Chain A
Amino acid sequence: MSEFHRKIERNTMRFVLAIIVVASIGGIVEIAPLFTIKSTVEAAPNMRVYTPLELAGRSIYMREGCYACHSQMIRTLRDEVERYGPYSLAVESQYDHPMLWGSKRTGPDIARVGEKYSDAWHVAHLYNPRDVVPESVMPAYRWLLRNELRIDDLPGHLRAMRDVGVPYTDAMIENAAKDAFGQAAPESDAAVGVTERYGAATHMRAFDGNAGRLTEMDALVAYLQIMGKLTDAAQKTEQTKIGE
């Protein structure tokens, strides 16, 4: 062994190539098949994409670093399923660029928090968590209610998402800004066409309680309320992997 190694360690290029080859094997074996083996991601034909407003909310979720304390991945363990709901399937995050599975639960998992609490609860909780959960250590996000949501760049965001593989249609991209406003102002003209493009079950309401003004709070609450609701694949799949 030593003789062989002495040859390698006397030649820079040989050494560099050896490192690249040896280090590449693990990643190639573990990652490449995930794109090719079909059973990796379950089928969910009825799954819908994020509306522009929800996508904007997701960006705010990322901007504020929520992933540092909240996971979005319920493991196949009995206590997790009983605490949070059916364990997460791969397909549920197939439109998540990037995924936000998280690695730490300083706060609870929120993969299935959608529709679990009212909009008003979320607004109050985000404005000051300790108003509704006295023991909470979550930061207060008061500026979400102050900041108006920027929507003029949303077509660009949807287009980038389409570039990485999310099936947004031309109509969705074209109407992105209008749809974002309309989803949170169901009585307005802008609301026309939102459910047509994103499905009848789309939440159409003033998430922050004020339909006249579109705030970052609207977007974030819209995102939280759709969490775990893009597809019902997890509810329909028998939970056979628990404890495995």
Chain B
Amino acid sequence: MIARLTVAERQSALLILIVMSFLGLAMAAAGRGTPFGLHGFLVIAASIGVGLPLLRKFYAPEPDPAQFEQYYDDPTKVGIVLAMLWAIAGMFVGVWVAALLAWPDLTIDAAWASFGRLRPIHTSGVIFGFGGNALIATSFHVLQRTSRARLPDQLSPWFVLLGYNLFCVVAATGYMMGVTQSKEYAEPEWYADIWLVIVWVVYFLIYIRTLARRKEPHIYVANWYYMAFILVVAILHIVNNLAVPVSFGDFKSYSAFSGVQDAMTQWWYGHNAVAFFLTAGFLGMLYYYLPKRAGRPIFSYRLSIISFWGITFMYMWAGSHHLHYTALPQWVQTLGMTFSIVLLVPSWASAGNALATLNGAWHKVRDDATLRFMMVAAVFYGISTFEGSFMAIRAVNSLSHYTDWTVGHVHAGALGWVAMITFGSIYALVPWMWKRETMYSARLIEVHFWLALAGTVVYVFAMWNSGIIQGLMWRTYTDSGTLAYSFIDSLVAMHPYYIARAFGGLLFLLGAIVGTYNVLMTIRVAKRERAQSGGGTDVPSYGRDPVLQAGE
């Protein structure tokens, strides 16, 4: 892969790695003996880890110019594998923390292994590690195909992919050492945040530069979503993470906002991390891989427009539904509730558009587990967006908020929608990337599908039950007008559901392991086949790859 970089690109890469090593050295020196210093060493180690293989091929001859006539897919390939590995890691920690809630003493007396430090590893691991890598990998693929243009250079995609993974590793190791801002889904501290901004700017530039070279007059709908994902996540990330560090050399920072303003900013961020990271980006995936796999064009161009702008506009108002009945002024709560309800329109427009696209291809859904993953994802997208609008109603929220119902809702979206569309897309993408007809095993995709679906259903039903029981117990009064249950009564009632939840999560994790095995075996078999067929060049894909037109 490195020999495919031009000599100039290899030199730039080396320069970047040298600069990063010095930066790491400065961090290590400034934060001696603290987590900040350890992260400095981590940056140095990462730079060397990438630098060594680079140096080994540094003096390789210039690559064959013919490769510039083909799409550049190496970062996508690595991104797919990284996404699957993060899925296993993040979901494994998820099962672990779920088990800790059922059996709290099932642990060791070490700070890094306690629930509060592991839980953000789970959330960041699956959202940013698994989801983020899948988004980056697929976006590079979709962007080139729908623009009929090659990525503008071969270095910046690597910078984005590897730089992003460095961010994820710094985040996860930081949590174990107690480095966290305590802002949900924005836990990484200031230096990781700044690094992500740099990575993100380069990511955006790749998009802009590729689109500028496109040979298609229209920007395809999948790219609208990927662009909204990149742009809005940047806005959210920068505003919500404004903070003053104690010093350079100290990991700790204090957020610029406090109290009620901070709460509103945090949930404006938090809810739209769901909207633009976990929804917009993955809708981009849906709009490309589902029609491709089904062999059908998108059902309606108009619905795509309505749902895209509806989501982009209205989601940004909805965050305050996380703060019903709190010290947030009621006018903001009311606005948040109103927009959350109207949001159902664009959400269901997307879900309906996806399902209507399958008309005429339902026999494929029956036979093909890959397409079935995508179909179920669209269904869960419809279910969880309905549930979300419902839970944003103040009266409903008074019961559901602070309970496991929220956790169940999130997982209906995260497992049923985000993970399912990702697995479906990856199963479609892997054979294309490694030039094979099919995945290594269709049977294992089927196994994965049923494990994932069963796991999701068990998980969500357990949390619905526990959440509603919890909410009702907290507000039940006796005949004499006193509260009927102590808090600990409600906790005891949760125990069976916490066990069921851990079991559901375990099923889902097993599915991810099966999926990873299948992906790795496909890669291995593809390599062996190519070796047998005698060296093998990449098949040029220009002009051969059918390009979808938006709704036409």
Are B261 and A19 in contact (CB-based, < 8 A)? no
Give complex CA distance A71, B324 in Å. Answer: 14
Residues on B with C-beta less than 8 A from A62 are: 180-182
| A99-B262, A106-B101, A143-B109 as given contacts; A16 in contact with B208, CB under 8 Å | yes
Q: Are A79 and B483 in contact (CB under 8 A)?
A: yes
| Contact, CB under 8 Å: B301 / A103 | no
- By a CB distance below 8 angstroms, the chain B residues around A99 are 258-260, 262-263, 266
- CA–CA, A145 and B280, complex, Å: 46
The yes or no answer to A83 lying at the interface (CB within 8 A) is yes
Q: Which residues of A contact B356 (CB under 8 A)?
A: none
Q: Does B244 contact A (CB under 8 A)?
A: yes
| Chain A residues within 8 Å of B250, by CB | 153, 156
Docked-complex contact B228 and A31, CB < 8 angstroms = no
Contact of A97 among B235, B262, B402 (CB under 8 A): B262
Binary contact track A140-171/B, C-beta < 8 Å → 1, others 0: 11110000000001001101110111100000
Scoring A29, A71, A73 by chain B CB atoms within 10 A of each residue's CB, the highest score goes to A73
Q: Known: A34-B261, A62-B180. Is A164-B109 also a contact (CB below 8 A)?
A: no
Given contacts A22-B313, A141-B114, contact A12 B211 (CB under 8 A): yes
Name A130's contact: one of B105, B109, B243, B255 (CB within 8 Å).
B105
Contact yes or no, B117 A23, CB < 8 A: no
Q: Does A27 contact B316, Cβ atoms closer than 8 Å?
A: yes
What 1/0 flags go to A3-33 for Cβ under 8 Å of B?
A: 0011001101001100110111111011100
Bound-state CA distance A90–B263 (Å) is 10
Given the known inter-chain contacts A73-B327, A98-B182, A105-B403, please indicate yes or no for A12 contacting B212, CB distance below 8 A.
yes
Task: Out of A23, A79, A83, A143, name the residue touching B228 (CB < 8 Å).
Answer: A23
What's the Cα separation between A59 and B187 when bound, in Å?
A: 13
Most buried by B among A23, A88, A135, A138: A23
Query: Is B450's beta carbon under 8 Å from chain A?
Result: no
Measured in the bound complex, the distance between the Cα atoms of B476 and A118 in whole Å is 29
Q: How far is the CB of B104 from chain A (nearest CB, A)?
A: 4
Q: Please tell me if the beta carbons of B327 and A89 are within 8 angstroms of each other in the complex.
A: yes
State whether B325 touches A75 (Cβ < 8 A). yes
Which of A35-43, A182-190, A207-215, A219-227 lines the interface with chain B? A35-43
Which residues in A have their C-beta under 8 angstroms from that of B323?
101
Question: A156 to B483, Cβ gap below 8 A?
Answer: no
**A220 shortest CB reach to chain B, Å:** 12
* Interchain CA distance A153-B249 in the complex, whole Å: 11
CA distance A136 to B467 in the complex (A): 18
CA distance A1 to B398 in the complex (A): 40
Q: Which residue of A has the minimal Cβ distance to B123?
A: A68
Confirm or deny: A82 has a beta carbon within 8 angstroms of a beta carbon on chain B. yes
User: Which of A10, A65, A80 has the most C-beta atoms of chain B within 10 angstroms of its own C-beta?
Assistant: A65
Report the bound CA distance from A16 to B211 in whole Å.
11
With both chains docked as a complex, state the minimum distance between the C-beta of B88 and any C-beta of chain A, in angstroms. Answer: 22
Q: Which of B69-77, B431-439, B484-492 is found at the contact surface with chain A?
A: B484-492
Q: Whole-angstrom distance between the alpha carbons of A93 and B320 in the complex?
A: 17
Chain B residues with CB under 8 Å of A141's CB are 111, 114
User: From residue A19, how far is it (CB to closest CB) to chain B in Å?
Assistant: 5
A9-B218, A244-B330 given; A160·B246 CB < 8 A? yes
Q: How far is the CA of A161 from the CA of B120 in the complex (A)?
A: 25
Given contacts A64-B116, A82-B483, contact A130 B261 (CB under 8 A): no
Contact B316 A100 (CB under 8 A): no
Instruction: Judge whether A120 is part of the interface by a CB distance below 8 angstroms.
Output: no
A116, CB-defined interface residue at 8 Å: no
Assess whether A23 is in contact with B313, with CB atoms less than 8 Å apart: yes
| B247 touches A (CB below 8 Å) | yes
In the assembled complex, B49 has its CB within 8 A of some CB on chain A: no
Asked if B208 contacts A105 (CB within 8 A), the reply is: no
- The CA of A76 and the CA of B423, in the complex, are separated in Å by 43
Verify B317–A26 contact, CB threshold 8 A: yes
Report A80 CB to chain B, min CB distance, Å: 8
Complex partner residue of A6 from B119, B218, B244, CB under 8 angstroms: B218
Interface hits, B463-483 → A, CB 8 Å? 474-475, 477, 483
Q: Closest Cβ of chain B: how far from A11's Cβ, in Å?
A: 8
Per-residue A-contact encoding for B245-287, CB less than 8 Å = 1, 0 else:
1110010111111111111111010000000000000000000
If A75-B398, A103-B406 touch, whether A138 touches B258 (CB-CB below 8 Å) is: no
Q: Does B309 contact A (CB under 8 A)?
A: yes
Q: Is A69 an interface residue (CB 8 A)?
A: yes
Q: In angstroms, how far is the closest chain B Cβ from the Cβ of A125?
A: 13
Q: Are A96 and B259 in contact (CB-based, < 8 A)?
A: yes
Given contacts A104-B406, A139-B115, contact A90 B259 (CB under 8 A): yes
Q: Chain B 312-351, CB within 8 Å of chain A: the 1/0 string? A: 1111111110111111111010011001000000000000
The CA of A71 and the CA of B498, in the complex, are separated in Å by 20
Q: Does B550 contact A (CB under 8 A)?
A: yes
CB contacts (< 8 Å) of A143 on chain B: these are 109-111
Most B CB atoms within 10 A — which of A27, A37, A65, A98?
Answer: A98
| Contact, CB under 8 Å: B219 / A23 | no
Q: Which of chain B's residues have a CB closer than 8 A to the CB of A200?
A: none
- If the complex has contacts A26-B314, A65-B182, A100-B182, are A90 and B105 also in contact, measured as CB distance less than 8 A? no
Contact A130 B260 (CB under 8 A): no
Residue among A31, A103, A139 making CB contact with B261, cutoff 8 Å? A31
Determine whether the beta carbon of A34 is less than 8 Å from that of B182.
Answer: no
- Residues of chain B with a CB closer than 8 A to A27's CB: 235, 239, 268, 316
24 sampled A-B residue pairs with Cβ under 8 A: A2-B301, A12-B212, A15-B219, A24-B316, A26-B316, A30-B317, A31-B264, A34-B260, A40-B260, A75-B398, A82-B483, A83-B474, A89-B327, A90-B259, A93-B258, A98-B183, A99-B263, A101-B326, A107-B487, A107-B491, A137-B498, A139-B107, A140-B104, A140-B109
Known contacts A27-B235, A37-B329, A99-B266; 13 additional CB pairs below 8 A are: A12-B211, A23-B228, A23-B232, A65-B120, A69-B115, A75-B325, A75-B326, A92-B259, A97-B257, A98-B181, A107-B491, A136-B488, A137-B100
The 6 A-B residue pairs with the shortest CB-CB distance in the complex, in nearest-first order: A65-B116, A26-B316, A63-B178, A75-B325, A26-B317, A93-B259
